[in-house]
Amino acid sequence: MFYVAKMTDKMVASILLGIGDDHRMKEPSTIIQFTHTSNAQMYSLLKRTAAKCSHISHVYSIGRSTEGRDLLVIEFSDNPGRHELLEPEIKLVGNMHGNEVLGRQLLIYLAQYLCSEYVLGNERIQTIVNTTRIHLLASMNPDGYELAASEVEDSSDPELSNHEVNIVNDTRDKTDDIRSLLQTRCGGRGRNTFMSLIWCLVAPETYAVMKWVRSLPFVQSASLHGGELVVSYPFDFSRHPQEERIFSPTPDEQVDKHTLPHTHYASDFIFLHSAKLYVSYTLL
């Protein structure tokens, strides 16, 4: 398990950063049109990419958003649609918040890049795809994106574009301190259990991702955010009254430090803490 974690970390770094062993950026042999992509364009582009590389890729939906939009995933593997024993499963998620489009666009470009480079015979990309099963959810919050895109030119308040269409915020959905909302959303019906919280409180987008995570043995994941100097720490929601002053490590603390060396985890934590900023990073 530890070996797999080390191997997939290098693969994720290669996928996201496009770096080789010499840590120098290399010029891609394909040219991607860097243009803003609407929801309709995103769906069309991902489907066309999967069709172009049908031998290594396919698209599937993990569910629908509050307003009925598909949560579309594009997968890359030498055997798409099938889990292979000991082959690492990796997922990358973008656009958790409506106005965070950087991660969304990066994953759309990444899908095109993996397809084109594999077809062109890029040995490095072929090795990554042939030894890893990669899942890209470019937009976890297509409803929030649609709302943010429609208002971005009409508002000077940046917070108005950080949309969650449902009452529950997708980022905080995964904590257990939302039990107090059970009375409001469920009218006091049912037992105060974990399943009650899921059915009464969790946004459909979050519930879809929760089911997705349980359906496949993902060994490493990343959620790409943008717009703030902040990293989301897995246990960043304490019941202690002085939670901002107390370090709350996860059981995987040492693994997190080992698998993300490029984030300068320890030094960044100290720097951001001294600057009185919320500190962390997330492995979903």
pLDDT digits (tens, 9 = 90+) for 23-61: 344 444 455 767 889 999 999 999 999 999 999 999 999
Q: Binning pLDDT at 50, 70 and 90, where does residue 282 land? A: very low
What's the half-sphere exposure (Cβ side, CA atoms, 13 Å) at 1? Answer: 4
**Judgement on whether residues 175 and 129 belong to the same structural domain of the protein:** no
pLDDT digits (tens, 9 = 90+) for 121-150: 999 999 999 999 999 999 999 999 999 888
Query: Could you tell me which residues come within 8 angstroms of residue 3 by beta carbon, excluding any fewer than 6 positions away?
Result: none
The reply to whether 216 and 243 lie within a common domain is no
Token pair for 217: 């043995």
Domain count, the chain: 3
Of 40-44, 257-261, 270-274, minimum mean pLDDT range: 270-274
The rounded radius of gyration (Å) of the Cα atoms in the chain is 20
Q: Could you list the residue range(s) of the whole structural domain that residue 253 is in?
A: 234-284
Cut 0.75: pTM above it: no
My answer on whether 121 and 188 are in the same domain is: no
